[in-house]
Amino acid sequence: MALYGAAAAVLEGLERGAGGVKALVFQSRFPLYALVSETLRYSAVLEELLAGAALLRAEKKLSPQLAKVLVYDLLFGKGLKCGGRWKALARRHRARLEAELARLKVRRKVSRNEELLAPAQAGGPGASQVPRYVRVNTLKTCVDDVIEFFKREGYCYLGKAASVEELRSLSGKKFLLDLHLPELLVFPPQTDFHDNVLYTSGHIILQDKASCLPAFLLSPAAGAHVIDACAAPGNKTSQLAAILENRGQIFAFDVDTKRLATMSTMLTRAGVTGFQLAQQDFLTVDPGDPKYSKVAYILLDPSCSGSGMVNRVPVAEAAPSAERLQALAGFQRKVLSHGLSFPALRRLVYSTCSLHREENEDVVGAVLQEWGSAFRLVDAFPGWPCRGLAAFPGAESCLRASAADTLTQGFFVAVLERRGDGAAAPRSLPAAAGDSPQHGEGTEPGAAPKKRRRKKQRKVCAALPGNCRCSKQRRSGGKQVK
């Protein structure tokens, strides 16, 4: 019962304007995103069913939000998981609800549940064209074995994509290896893996392609000390750990206790070691603290307007006001400048899920000007199709992403590196996956050295928890601080 009550509370919060879907879900101790998203997607259909079956009139103590969640899981989801009176209540009305659903399909002249959804209900603006991206967690398995697992599940692997257009044309149970990122698989939009054993065991991470870019471009060397400045919910942190091969140290900060608790669970499930979580505002972290004297890489993804988020659910969020953008940009400039003040820093990646120039190019340009010649903007990923807006000379070195152009969430990424004065050169940026041979034909860009990779490819793995032999976690020392 608690699961459905928590999902209903998220729906109520959305109606009150208390926050966005992700923000409200992360405040809960339950994994609610899929349930809430799908309930919202079917919201109009559920309202018709509730009205036709007169459920709320018959059960006066049942809130509309809770009724929607229960009926969604009863008729469209995986079946009711709760016990007690709510399960008994829903089952008592099951026959009437199923009859109402059948009548609705007849009226609409459709046979499948998905066909009941209007185009606007299939997802937010652009959501219907954004594929489902699946990042393979190389701390627990490898790409080849995950591909084999999905093939055994009935999916058809089409090889490595040659263009964005190939990703756009995916349908049914077909999937591809991404053309840019070597450990990213691409499935048709709305493919749901939240209940898949590889997801629940941490072997795969459901992470948008654009969200994978910051850690990929930070590219810290194994054994390095790294700060993830605004870390929750932890997808980027787990990606950093995979790049580091669980060697080195990650210092992860976030101000929200509940988000950190969720993040700790997620990182443990993903097999991440050598990390320290701290409930602390990154702006209060002292760059002169000896604890951070070896930090050479910083991933900075600060709070932003979220204007680039392409929702998979039909929830429209108001555009931020000019005052809100100004306040956000002021905070972002401050936190970026603070990140650059760490004495051993070699490379910093600044990213947002915003489309607004005020939070992106304007922030980077202002901070670079503030620091003079100490840092330079790196021309990252030259083959990436969308570049920064011409806000200042060199801004085209930044990356942008969008549903229309790159089939991803809207995103902005800038890579900054320290200049000269005898500073040790940072590890070179990774190459695009498109410059390498097909998966299985050679070494992946950004992957392990050839000798280790060949050894890894010889190992046999069932890509299942407990059977995976190519995924022995490379654990280093270091304490997990919760």
Query: Which residues are designated catalytic?
Result: 353
What is the C-alpha separation between 208 and 376, in angstroms, rounded?
28
Q: How far is CA 1 from CA 221, 292, 304, in A?
A: 46, 45, 34
Say if strands 174-177 and 184-187 run parallel, antiparallel, or are unpaired: antiparallel
Buried b (16+ CB within 10 A) or exposed e, 389-412: eebbebbbbbbbbbbeebbbbbbb
Nearest to 251 by CA among 271, 275, 280: 275
Strand ranges inside 307-432, DSSP E? 347-352, 375-377, 399-401, 411-418
- What φ, ψ does residue 242 adopt, rounded to 5°? -65, -40
DSSP 432: P
Write the DSSP string, 184-232.
EEEE-TT---TTSHHHHTTSEEE--HHHHHHHHHH-PPTT-EEEETT-T
Nearest to 37 by CA among 7, 80, 5: 7
What is the C-alpha separation between 340 and 297, in angstroms, rounded?
10
Lookup: tokens for 272: 């991440």
Lookup: tokens for 408: 């991803």
Q: How far is CA 213 from the centre of its chain?
A: 11
Exposure of 77 in the CB half-sphere (CA atoms within 13 A): 25
Say if strands 156-160 and 204-206 run parallel, antiparallel, or are unpaired: unpaired
